[in-house]
Structure 1
Amino acid sequence: MYTPRAFAVDDLQALDALFARDAFVTLLTTGADGAPLASQLPVLYRRDGDRLHVEGHWARPNPQASHDGPALMIVHGPHAYVSPGWYPDKIEAARVPTWNYATAHLRGRLECFDDEAALADLVARTSDVFEARIGGDWRFEPDDDSQRRQLRGIVGFRFHVDVIEIKHKLSQNHPAANRSAVADALSGGDTNAREIAAMMRAIAS
């Protein structure tokens, strides 16, 4: 990921926040023929100090489901268009449009598994997390034969992370007046824009 120094973040709490906001990631691998493969997947994430634990699963027919090896995981954060018309110095500095955003790229290695006990545990924990977020009460029941049989249709993975890159592009390379004006403009926008405005104000305080 191209990350100028002004936008690089080394605080892993920023990664925690991205996963807490949106644990639906993009997972990229390379197929046997060298062609890129991508999947959008919900994952479970936790961190012990500098050690990350990321788990998820594919549908068994997914071409990635046989991939033990290198992978790139993109964690998506908020993003918003920035108009050059918002900058106080737009004319003298010949400002142009841009985009502010937060994201993380994790590089590492996938480890696949398909034993029933491990898959049952993964599905149970995954459903517990995401049901709780919507106030739902569905639970995976390992003693229910009809539910347990469906485990045959998935393959689980553990993602062992080697490299963490976190990027917050929040107009840090602009004068304070520009940053303030952009945050003010974004605060009246959609949910993504308001999140970016709040992040900009947080680093300015």
Structure 2
Amino acid sequence: MYLPRAFAENDLAALDALAARDSFVTLVTVRDGAPCVSHLPVLYRREGGQVALHGHWARPNPQALHAGPALAIFHGPHAYVSPGWYPDKEAAARVPTWNYAVAHLHGTLRTFDDEAALAELVDALSRRFEPEAGGDWRFEPERDDHRRQLRGIVGFRFVAERIELKFKLSQNHPHANRRAVAERLAGQAREDGREVARLMSARLAPDAGD
């Protein structure tokens, strides 16, 4: 990922926040020289600097045959930034851009398909996501029909070995520009814009001025 120093985020709490906000990741592997991509929910775990993800594929998914290097991408909020919002738009000949937050986790995949581990994973996933959806489904290991469903999936554990956090929030602009952009985004109808505004405002607080 192209990561200018101004946009690099080093606090893993920022990754925690991205994962809590949206744990539906893009998982990228390479097979026979071609990229293979899946989009799927994961369970996120961090202990200190160690980050691990757990999830599963449908068994027919070609990526389920992969064990080894992989890239997992967490997508954060993003928003268009108009050059007309900058106080110095004319003097500096400003141009349009896009502000966003994203995390790239480079690491290694390990697959598993034993029934007990898959049952534990499906149960954990349902306990993580059902409350958010207002549902109450649970995996019931005593039910044969629930256990049979496990034959259709392959589980994985992904351990991050390198983490890149990019929070592109106009840090390369004067304070007045950053403040103006945050104010305009805060008033947008799109929630993504308001989320970007909150991220920008949190990083504006320590600044004393331009």
TM-score (structure 1 length as normaliser): 0.98
Q: Name the structure 2 match of 1:188.
A: 187
Q: Percent identity?
A: 68
In the TM superposition, 1:22-37 aligns within 5 A as 22-31=22-31, 33-37=32-36
Cα distance in 2 between the residues matched to 1:152 and 1:11: 39
Q: Name the structure 1 match of 2:144.
A: 145
Residue by residue over 1:21-78, the C-alpha shift from the partner in whole angstroms, topping out at 9 and shown as x without a partner, is: 00000000011x2111101000000111111121000000001001001100100000
Q: Name the structure 2 match of 1:197.
A: 197
Q: Name the structure 2 match of 1:6.
A: 6
Q: Name the structure 2 match of 1:62.
A: 61
Cα distance in 2 between the residues matched to 1:45 and 1:55: 7
Q: Name the structure 1 match of 2:208.
A: none
- 1:16 and 2:53 correspond: no
Cα distance in 2 between the residues matched to 1:3 and 1:30: 22
**Which AA in structure 1 matches 2:9?**
V
Q: Secondary structure at the match of 1:136?
A: coil
Give the count of matched residue pairs.
204
Q: Name the structure 2 match of 1:45.
A: 44
Q: Name the structure 2 match of 1:154.
A: 153
Q: Secondary structure at the match of 2:76?
A: strand
Cα distance in 2 between the residues matched to 1:53 and 1:105: 13
In the TM superposition, 1:157-168 aligns within 5 A as 157-168=156-167
1:133 is displaced (CA, Å) by 1.7
Q: Name the structure 1 match of 2:103.
A: 104
Q: Secondary structure at the match of 2:70?
A: strand
Unmatched 5+ stretches in structure 2 = 206-210
Cα distance in 2 between the residues matched to 1:164 and 1:53: 11
Unmatched 5+ stretches in structure 1 = none
